[in-house]
Amino acid sequence: MADFIHKKNRFTLFQIIILGFAAVILIGALLLMLPVSSKAGIITPFNEALFTSTSAVCVTGLVVQDTATYWSWFGQGIILVLIQIGGLGVITVAVSFALLSGRKISLMQRSVMQEAIAAPKVGGIVRLTGFVLKGTFLIEFIAALIMMPVFVKDFGAKGIWMAIFHSISAFCNAGFDLMGTENVKYASLTSYVSHPLINITIMLLIIIGGIGFLTWEDILKNKYRIKSYRMQTKVILTTSLILILFPAVFFFFRDFADLPMQERVFSSLFQAVTPRTAGFNTANLTMMTEAGLGIVIALMLVGGSPGSTAGGMKTTTLAVIIANTLACFRRKEDAQMFGRRIEDSAIKNAATIFMMYIVFFFGGAIVISVVEGLPFSTCLFETASAIGTVGLTLGITPGLGVISQIILMILMFLGRVGGLTLIYAALSESGKKISKLPREKITIG
């Protein structure tokens, strides 16, 4: 991969990122097809292996086969490796191997790394990559140790593997779980709905993984000096907090009002955190109100933050659109946040990403609804889960046909690599023009 990145004359930065993810997905699918990957020792159909590999690399969690009951230890191990690669980013992992081998990282490779993890500049990118790797493995290791006593108590020696698997899956915002049984498949974490340790640990992993690597660095650097945080860090933390608290309050008083208090509190918080974009669930989603499911869909579309293990439109996209809307309401020339002016290019990118997600989200749901003959609202939930790389489901994904599976795979891929990355990869940079067309006014609204 490192040599592939070096071929700068053949591929643009964005094409390298796209091809890197695609290559890992294909390799993962071929490995999952092997008889040793399934518990039954059979060859898994290519479309099912490809769907699972895409979901793992794109850290989504939508599955067509129950992870715990269908896949063998080997298959689960392959899925976990794909989740880790997808969470860190294919380019980050590839260049990390180059660093470990003692090879010098070229400027081209540093530029690709910058795009892959949404770093503001090329300078210090190697150091930042080391920080990301060390921080990731340390957090996953600590979380696994915390959850291990609970899982070992419930599952014996198998609990060690389950603690490791769920720690990595949660931190990478993947949503894959090993809780299914032959009698109750696709169970997720419903059996731990009121367990404080599991709930709190999983939620913290989701949040820490979803706020972004650059946000960690800023927090660790400035600690309690909040005024010294970068504007992006303030936007991410503020938006994330709002998108957790308000839905949690709604769920508490509306969807889970009949539950015992402890279960009610944890269910409300967990279902507010997990759509961003983890895919675990502790409650039966089919029992939630239509309004509650609508909020979950909105949360799934927003997703996590730039440079994180999460997908979706990103919290900064939503924040920029809101800031621009408020600026229009107040008849201000520039959108502003935390005493800083937002660049016009950021507003254009945010509007473009928002429109792309809405079009693909609705378009995919329409096609699946027509092909499968399913309710449109149910299909909207699945497409939001796919494009937001969440993994939550109302139970229809395992029964979908090949065409619908392909649509969800495309949406998962789009949600992980990013809409603008796909656009920039598809359009040649050589097509830029210096000349401009004549300007003319158009009435809006």
Rounded CA separation 63/397 (Å): 7
Collect all residues with Cβ–Cβ distance below 8 Å to 355 and sequence separation of at least 6.
Answer: none
Rounded CA separation 245/251 (Å): 10
In the chain, what is the straight-line distance between the N-terminal and C-terminal CA atoms, in Å? 49
Collect all residues with Cβ–Cβ distance below 8 Å to 188 and sequence separation of at least 6.
Answer: 175, 177, 179, 280, 281, 282
Contact of 155 with 148, CB cutoff 8 Å: no
Rounded CA separation 101/214 (Å): 25
Contact of 288 with 314, CB cutoff 8 Å: no
Phi, psi of 340 (to 5 degrees): -130, 145
Nearest to 277 by CA among 356, 357, 355, 159: 357
Coil, strand or helix at 425: helix
State the number of CA atoms in the 13 A half-sphere of 246 facing the CB.
Answer: 10
For the four alpha carbons of 309, 394, 386 and 183, in that order, the dihedral sign comes to: positive
What DSSP letter does each residue of 171-238 carry, written as one string?
HTT----S---SSS-S-TTGGGTT-HHHHHHHHHHHHHHHS-HHHHHHHHHHTT-GGGS-HHHHHHHH
Nearest to 239 by CA among 173, 309, 313: 313
Nearest to 147 by CA among 157, 158, 160: 160
Q: Return the pLDDT at 1.
A: 53
Instruction: Give the C-alpha distances (Å, rounded to integers) separating 421 from 116, 139, 174, 278, 317.
Output: 10, 29, 21, 22, 15
Q: Return the pLDDT at 87.
A: 86
Bridge-based pairing of strands 340-341 and 336-337 is antiparallel
Question: Would you state the structure tokens that stand for residue 132, as one six-digit string?
Answer: 């990301």
Residue 70 CB neighbours (<10 A): 21
Per-block average pLDDT, block size 10, for the chain (445 residues)? 51 73 94 96 96 94 93 97 87 65 62 62 69 90 97 95 96 92 87 94 94 88 89 94 96 93 95 89 89 95 86 91 92 88 90 92 96 95 94 91 95 82 59 67 71
3-state secondary structure 252-265: HHCCCCCCCHHHHH
Q: Return the pLDDT at 8.
A: 47
Q: Which residue has the tokens 């409300």?
A: 268
Rounded CA separation 213/209 (Å): 8
Contact of 424 with 18, CB cutoff 8 Å: no
Question: Would you state the structure tokens that stand for residue 179, as one six-digit string?
Answer: 């809780």
pTM higher than 0.85, yes or no? yes
